[in-house]
A and B are shown apart, each in its own frame.
Chain A
């Protein structure tokens, strides 16, 4: 028999109690995993949505609470497009529009000239015709779910549109959405002369960093150039909020789970007072008793980490199978997410175990042995 074996035996001895404690923590862990994976997935999709294709960087509204709420006056596009170092600058408006069966359909307004910069590849049909107001291109996933093909018509925000082609960008979110001519979407959403982002390609011989720096300088406080995932995270509060929310859940899990574990362990130590007295009498040192109780508590946390990770993973998967969100959410399981969950679960074990372990290690063998 080993020390670890003894720890597991002690947990097995009160398996119902251990199971309850594990269930409590693992629900918290599951929430963290599921939320985190979904948030990561959404984040990555949004990042790709707004910075895809051949653009060197994109420009959004500084301090926008959420990237789809970014608002950039179209006039800025014409100013920037005139800079000598800028090869091409195009604007895109991103909005949610009502499609048959889905009131929040990701819809992007973009001119055909911007397809290359936006990374849009036509799979079937043709691009918008000049000045068309009633044409729509569907992403390949969207075409599939809506069962539409070029030539069909579709009602968007109660207005009739004709499907003229199918496109692919390789991004799940975009391929699950639709493209409208920029003017058409601006009209539909009553947001004339408004963009969500500007995509910029820098001329050869100029430094991307220098152009980004110029944007920052000239439009300080109103526009922000964005290139990497981290920049998006830093700028967009919604993602910060999701992150903060995930940490808040973690903190709650830590506190609630910690109290649960503490309760379990205090009960278990109290019941074993005489036993602990015997351990001390036969020569166990205080730290060994401390290690035993901490070990039990940490083992509860570790077991909960496994159970919770599995539950969270299954939960996130179940969400992606819902027809309403198919194609919109693809959870991303980053290693740090699992690390975060494991650390939190062990943290719960640690926090919950400290006091009971301290109490256990300070049980006086003489007194413990007096009570039968």
Chain B
């Protein structure tokens, strides 16, 4: 296995039948276990790049390998890839408001089964009706909630949690399936600077502790500075990083 978890060459992504060129030939490599910040002004293509890495969308052209998967050529919608390899954290409305913190953390475990072994798939497909409560994922979800400091709030619903607490639930959810990469799109964009620091510290700790690769999108230079490396995007291309300085 190569020590690069993300390899992108000449990635192009357009929207609206080519009228919007969101990514215009992005080439980059990210090492396993690295903490990389992607920064750049609004509309520069940061989220687009993150979504391609997380297989939420497909590039128009170029090459993209993530965690051993050829995302350019893999058929289908790659839900299994997202379930097993990736954890997502978004800026806002990450959580399902009607579910408790614990249930929100468990959501990824209800979603997809690994493509093999076949038997396991047959058993869970497509209605794992009785599954969930009391099994291993439940214990893992509780442990993660403890780890992000919300052990005592496991049964609260998002409206009863503060913004920072909600993002910590999202962090726990991103880790519940033991992903290789965590992709965070402005995870602290809506928090005050105190809470922001706290959540960033937590993310960084977990990244080191669990050896996951963390790719964090931000347009805030102070946030970018906390990363091992900064990649700057401007008009859909990688440029010399300025925001990390």
Q: Known: A281-B88, A285-B77. Is A3-B129 also a contact (CB below 8 A)? A: yes
- Shortest beta-carbon distance from B191 to chain A in Å: 16
Q: Which residues of A contact B93 (CB under 8 A)?
A: 274, 278, 372
The chain A residue sitting closest to B108, CB to CB, is: A282
Stretch at the interface among B49-57, B203-211, B223-231: B49-57
Interface residues of A in 233-277 (CB under 8 A from B): 274-275
Q: Which residues of A contact B80 (CB under 8 A)?
A: 283, 285
Tell me, yes or no, whether B111 is within 8 Å of chain A by CB: yes
Which chain A residues border B77 with CB–CB below 8 Å?
A: 285-286
> Do A284 and B112 form a contact, CB below 8 Å, given A3-B127, A279-B107, A369-B56?
yes
| Total chain B interface residues with beta-carbon distance under 8 A | 41
What distance in Å separates the Cβ of B2 from its nearest Cβ neighbour in chain A? 24
- Per-residue CB contact flags for chain B residues 74-116 toward chain A (1 = under 8 Å, else 0) read 0001011111101110101110101100110011101110000
Which of A4, A6, A10, A287 is the one whose CB lies under 8 Å from B126?
Answer: A287
Partner-binding segment picked from B34-42, B130-138, B236-244: B130-138
Q: Is A119 in the interface zone, CB < 8 Å from B?
A: no
A2 with B129: CB separation less than 8 A:
yes
Indicate if the CB atoms of A372 and B107 lie closer than 8 Å.
Answer: no
Q: B108–A1 contact, CB under 8 A?
A: no
Task: Confirm or deny: A13 has a beta carbon within 8 angstroms of a beta carbon on chain B.
Answer: yes
Given contacts A9-B99, A283-B79, A372-B92, A2 and B177 within 8 Å (CB-CB): no
Q: Is B173 an interface residue (CB 8 A)?
A: yes
B128 within 8 A of A: yes
A283 and B82 contact, CB distance less than 8 A: yes
Question: Bound state CA distance, A5 and B132, in angstroms?
Answer: 10
**Is B128 a contact partner of A2 (Cβ separation < 8 A)?**
yes
Please tell me if A315 contacts chain B, counting CB pairs below 8 Å: no
Tell me the smallest distance from the CB of A117 to a CB of chain B, in Å: 59
Given contacts A1-B110, A3-B110, A278 and B79 within 8 Å (CB-CB): no
A123 to B88, CA, bound (A): 84
How many angstroms between the C-alpha atoms of A282 and B129 in the bound complex?
19
Distance in Å from the Cβ of B129 to the closest Cβ of chain A? 5
Most buried by A among B77, B81, B96, B173: B96
Contacts of B106 in A (CB 8 A): 1
C-alpha spacing A97/B127, complex, angstroms: 61
Complex interface: chain B residues within 8 A of A214 (CB): none
Given the interface pairs A9-B99, A10-B98, the reply to whether A282 lies near B83 with Cβ below 8 Å is yes
Q: Contacts A3-B132, A281-B56; is A288 near B126 (CB within 8 Å)?
A: yes
Does A366 make an interface contact (CB < 8 A)? yes
Q: B66 CB to closest chain A CB, in angstroms?
A: 14
By beta carbon, the residue of chain A nearest B137 is A1
Q: How far is the CB of A40 from chain B (nearest CB, A)?
A: 35
Q: List 13 A-B contacts (CB under 8 A).
A: A1-B132, A2-B129, A3-B110, A3-B127, A278-B94, A281-B56, A282-B108, A283-B177, A284-B83, A288-B79, A291-B126, A365-B56, A366-B51
Which residues on A are within 8 Å of B, measured CB to CB?
Answer: 1-6, 9-10, 12-13, 274-275, 278-288, 290-291, 295, 364-366, 369-370, 372
Closest 3 A-B residue pairs measured CB to CB? A283-B83, A284-B111, A282-B108
